[in-house]
Amino acid sequence: MKAIVSSEYGSPDALKLQEIDTPVIGDDGVLVRVRAASVNPLDWHVMRGLPYLVRVTGGLRRPKRTVPGVDMAGHVEAVGRNVTRLRPGDEVFGCASGGALAEYAAAGEDACVPKPVGLTLEQAAAIPIAGLTALQALRDQGQLQPGQRVLVNGAAGGVGTFAVQIAKAFGADVTGVCSTRNVDRVRSIGADQIVDYTAEDFTRRGQRYDLILCLAGNHSLSDLRRTLTAKGTLVLAGGGGDGRWLGPLAGFLKALVVSPLVGQRLLPFIAKLRKEDLVALKDLIEAGKVTPVIDRTYPLSEAPEAIRYLEAGHAQGKVIITV
């Protein structure tokens, strides 16, 4: 099968389209004929091996997992003998266990769920990591309640476009922070107010929020705290930390140290793969409350360019790879 292969850490130029063996699944596995995948910041962090903490589990000198990508959508090609929920031919979306930027990908049964009705496979491929991050960060970590004032810093990105819509679906009053070019996009997905960060600093407007979901590391912890209510919650789910050793983890650790000393909740967050949450996202989409936002689509052969574009930090929604 054709796949994008990464044999060393480095720039997107190190990614090559090659012929490799089709994955072999076990008794509990699912083999998916990938029709679309999407890329996430995780992919370019792993590609570069930065921050260096990535290499502790991902391979010290070279990537252990040679095919990048997690998000995928396609048709079930084969299932292991213990798999009962999915059958060959089913259209699914979910998370690959061994790399998604390939013609075929392996996954666990609980890592895939049926594609939402009415969505294309390209749209479905946009959902997994970004959707899970937005849902779990707001609902679980942020404990979002109807009527709360919520601010999403980084509202136009992959996670941010899901977060704005999910927060609205849960009954929040939502402010989205984005650049001038993204104002119309963020307004179109339901934000009640928009702050253009190129013209105004939201931490100095005098507004206070019950919950801030921070997806961009462009403000200090003290600035973000100033923008919270006295008992508000800050969820740090990405961005910031350019250090080569810890990256965003440095900000996460600072939040953990400060949080017990103040009345506000300052919480780092990393999403977890849960089948029930993939189903919850499917239900929100089928109810018309959430729609994946796609910026650009690239063929598999141009996956390095897709990751290069995402790494530049200006994507509006998700970047999709068609296979």
Q: What CATH code is carried by the domain that includes residue 39?
A: 3.90.180.10
Q: Record the pTM.
A: 0.93
How far is 99 from 39, CA to CA, in rounded Å? 11
Counting residues of the chain whose pLDDT is more than 70, the rounded percentage is 89
Q: 107 with 164, same domain?
A: no
Has residue 282 been placed in a domain?
no
Q: 121 with 135, same domain?
A: no
CA-nearest of 132, 120, 101 to 18 is 101
Q: What is the pLDDT of residue 55?
A: 57
- The contacts of residue 69 (CB under 8 Å, 6+ apart) are 4, 37, 38, 39, 43, 96, 99, 100, 101, 102, 303, 321
Q: 241 with 149, same domain?
A: yes
Has residue 280 been placed in a domain?
no
Q: 252 with 310, same domain?
A: no
Token representation of residue 99: 């790399």
Q: What is the pLDDT of residue 9?
A: 87
Q: Are 70 and 40 in contact (CB under 8 A)?
A: yes
What total number of domains does the chain contain? 2
Q: What is the pLDDT of residue 217?
A: 79
- Check whether the bond before 51 is cis (ω within 30° of 0): yes
Q: 183 with 197, same domain?
A: yes
What pLDDT band is residue 308 in, cutting at 50, 70 and 90?
very high
What pLDDT band is residue 245 in, cutting at 50, 70 and 90?
very low
Has residue 284 been placed in a domain?
no
On the question of pLDDT at 282 being above 90, the answer is: yes
Q: 134 with 243, same domain?
A: yes
Q: What is the CATH number of the domain that holds 219?
A: 3.40.50.720
On the question of pLDDT at 47 being above 90, the answer is: no
Has residue 274 been placed in a domain?
no
Q: 68 with 144, same domain?
A: no
On the question of pLDDT at 235 being above 70, the answer is: yes
Q: 77 with 109, same domain?
A: yes
Q: What is the pLDDT of residue 246?
A: 45
Has residue 276 been placed in a domain?
no
Has residue 28 been placed in a domain?
yes
Range of the domain at 68: 2-127+292-322
Q: Are 162 and 132 in contact (CB under 8 A)?
A: no
**Distances in Å between the alpha carbon of 299 and those of 32, 122, 193, 283?**
18, 11, 36, 29
Least confident segment among 2-6, 60-64, 308-312? 60-64
Sign of CA dihedral 144, 150, 153, 158: positive
Q: What is the pLDDT of residues 84-112, one digit of tens each?
A: 999 999 999 999 998 999 999 999 999 99
